Amino acid sequence: MAKKDFSKAREQISFEIDGETFEAAEAIPADVLAEGVTVLNGVDPETATATDQIGALKSFMEMCLFPESYERFSYRMGNKANPIDLDQVDQVASWLVEQYGMRPTQPSSDSTDGSPSPVPGTTSTASIPERVSISGASPSIAS
Protein backbone atom coordinates (compact mmCIF):
# COMPACT_ATOMS: atom_id res chain seq x y z
CA MET A 1 0.00 0.00 0.00
CA ALA A 2 1.39 3.40 -1.00
CA LYS A 3 1.61 6.10 1.61
CA LYS A 4 2.19 9.82 0.98
CA ASP A 5 2.96 12.31 3.75
CA PHE A 6 1.42 15.75 3.12
CA SER A 7 2.88 17.34 6.25
CA LYS A 8 4.57 20.71 5.82
CA ALA A 9 7.52 22.23 7.59
CA ARG A 10 6.24 25.62 8.71
CA GLU A 11 8.14 28.64 9.93
CA GLN A 12 7.11 31.07 12.64
CA ILE A 13 5.65 34.28 11.16
CA SER A 14 6.19 37.47 13.11
CA PHE A 15 6.77 41.12 12.38
CA GLU A 16 7.74 44.23 14.30
CA ILE A 17 6.25 47.70 14.42
CA ASP A 18 7.99 50.38 16.50
CA GLY A 19 9.80 47.81 18.64
CA GLU A 20 6.70 45.71 19.35
CA THR A 21 6.57 42.16 17.97
CA PHE A 22 3.37 40.62 16.65
CA GLU A 23 2.98 36.91 15.93
CA ALA A 24 0.88 35.37 13.20
CA ALA A 25 -0.26 31.82 12.65
CA GLU A 26 2.22 29.70 10.71
CA ALA A 27 -0.60 28.72 8.36
CA ILE A 28 -4.25 29.69 8.03
CA PRO A 29 -6.71 26.78 8.36
CA ALA A 30 -8.61 26.21 5.11
CA ASP A 31 -12.05 27.09 6.54
CA VAL A 32 -10.75 30.29 8.14
CA LEU A 33 -8.94 31.31 4.95
CA ALA A 34 -12.07 30.76 2.87
CA GLU A 35 -14.09 32.93 5.25
CA GLY A 36 -11.43 35.67 5.23
CA VAL A 37 -11.17 35.72 1.46
CA THR A 38 -14.96 35.95 1.22
CA VAL A 39 -14.89 39.00 3.51
CA LEU A 40 -12.12 40.69 1.50
CA ASN A 41 -13.68 39.89 -1.87
CA GLY A 42 -17.05 41.18 -0.65
CA VAL A 43 -15.73 44.71 -0.22
CA ASP A 44 -16.18 46.69 -3.43
CA PRO A 45 -13.70 49.59 -3.46
CA GLU A 46 -16.10 51.58 -5.64
CA THR A 47 -19.05 51.43 -3.23
CA ALA A 48 -17.72 50.44 0.21
CA THR A 49 -17.29 53.02 2.92
CA ALA A 50 -13.92 53.59 4.58
CA THR A 51 -15.39 51.90 7.68
CA ASP A 52 -16.31 48.81 5.62
CA GLN A 53 -12.83 48.67 4.12
CA ILE A 54 -11.01 49.08 7.43
CA GLY A 55 -13.36 46.50 8.95
CA ALA A 56 -12.36 44.02 6.23
CA LEU A 57 -8.67 44.70 6.91
CA LYS A 58 -9.21 44.20 10.64
CA SER A 59 -10.98 40.91 9.92
CA PHE A 60 -8.03 39.82 7.81
CA MET A 61 -5.56 40.76 10.56
CA GLU A 62 -7.67 38.91 13.15
CA MET A 63 -7.63 35.87 10.86
CA CYS A 64 -3.82 35.93 10.68
CA LEU A 65 -2.65 37.08 14.11
CA PHE A 66 -2.74 35.09 17.31
CA PRO A 67 -5.40 36.51 19.68
CA GLU A 68 -2.96 38.32 22.00
CA SER A 69 -1.11 39.90 19.07
CA TYR A 70 -4.37 40.88 17.35
CA GLU A 71 -5.63 42.50 20.56
CA ARG A 72 -2.49 44.68 20.78
CA PHE A 73 -2.51 45.40 17.02
CA SER A 74 -6.18 46.41 17.05
CA TYR A 75 -5.70 48.58 20.14
CA ARG A 76 -2.82 50.43 18.50
CA MET A 77 -4.90 51.06 15.36
CA GLY A 78 -6.97 53.41 17.55
CA ASN A 79 -4.25 54.65 19.91
CA LYS A 80 -3.20 58.25 19.18
CA ALA A 81 -0.19 58.06 21.53
CA ASN A 82 1.28 54.87 19.95
CA PRO A 83 -0.51 54.35 16.63
CA ILE A 84 -0.27 51.83 13.86
CA ASP A 85 -1.20 53.97 10.86
CA LEU A 86 -2.98 52.93 7.66
CA ASP A 87 0.25 52.76 5.67
CA GLN A 88 1.67 50.28 8.21
CA VAL A 89 -1.54 48.21 8.18
CA ASP A 90 -1.40 48.13 4.38
CA GLN A 91 2.24 47.05 4.37
CA VAL A 92 1.68 44.35 7.02
CA ALA A 93 -1.43 42.96 5.29
CA SER A 94 0.37 42.79 1.93
CA TRP A 95 3.37 41.09 3.55
CA LEU A 96 1.14 38.56 5.32
CA VAL A 97 -0.61 37.76 2.04
CA GLU A 98 2.84 37.00 0.60
CA GLN A 99 3.80 34.86 3.62
CA TYR A 100 0.73 32.69 3.16
CA GLY A 101 1.51 32.27 -0.54
CA MET A 102 -1.65 33.98 -1.74
CA ARG A 103 0.20 36.03 -4.38
CA PRO A 104 3.70 36.26 -5.81
CA THR A 105 6.17 38.45 -3.96
CA GLN A 106 6.54 41.82 -5.65
CA PRO A 107 9.78 43.80 -5.54
CA SER A 108 9.69 46.63 -3.03
CA SER A 109 9.47 50.19 -4.28
CA ASP A 110 12.42 52.58 -4.19
CA SER A 111 10.00 55.34 -3.17
CA THR A 112 10.96 57.27 -0.06
CA ASP A 113 7.97 59.58 0.32
CA GLY A 114 6.26 57.24 2.80
CA SER A 115 3.06 56.84 0.80
CA PRO A 116 1.94 53.36 -0.23
CA SER A 117 2.63 52.53 -3.85
CA PRO A 118 0.27 50.30 -5.82
CA VAL A 119 1.50 46.88 -6.83
CA PRO A 120 0.75 45.74 -10.37
CA GLY A 121 -1.90 43.00 -10.37
CA THR A 122 -1.08 39.41 -11.14
CA THR A 123 -3.26 36.72 -12.55
CA SER A 124 -4.19 33.59 -10.66
CA THR A 125 -6.51 30.65 -11.05
CA ALA A 126 -7.67 31.10 -7.44
CA SER A 127 -10.04 33.81 -6.28
CA ILE A 128 -7.59 35.06 -3.67
CA PRO A 129 -7.14 38.82 -3.37
CA GLU A 130 -3.89 40.03 -4.92
CA ARG A 131 -3.49 43.06 -2.68
CA VAL A 132 -5.15 44.57 0.32
CA SER A 133 -4.59 48.29 -0.02
CA ILE A 134 -5.70 51.39 1.80
CA SER A 135 -4.68 54.79 0.56
CA GLY A 136 -4.87 57.77 2.89
CA ALA A 137 -6.77 59.85 0.34
CA SER A 138 -9.24 57.29 -0.93
CA PRO A 139 -9.28 53.97 0.90
CA SER A 140 -9.69 50.89 -1.27
CA ILE A 141 -9.32 47.16 -1.04
CA ALA A 142 -8.42 45.73 -4.41
CA SER A 143 -9.12 42.15 -5.38
Q: Are 94 and 133 in contact (CB under 8 A)?
A: yes
- Pairwise CA distance, residues 34 & 7, whole Å: 20
- Pairwise CA distance, residues 38 & 120, whole Å: 22
pLDDT digits (tens, 9 = 90+) for 48-95: 888 888 888 899 999 999 999 999 999 999 999 999 998 999 899 989
Name residue 22's beta-bridge partners: 15
- Pairwise CA distance, residues 126 & 79, whole Å: 36
Predicted model pTM: 0.67
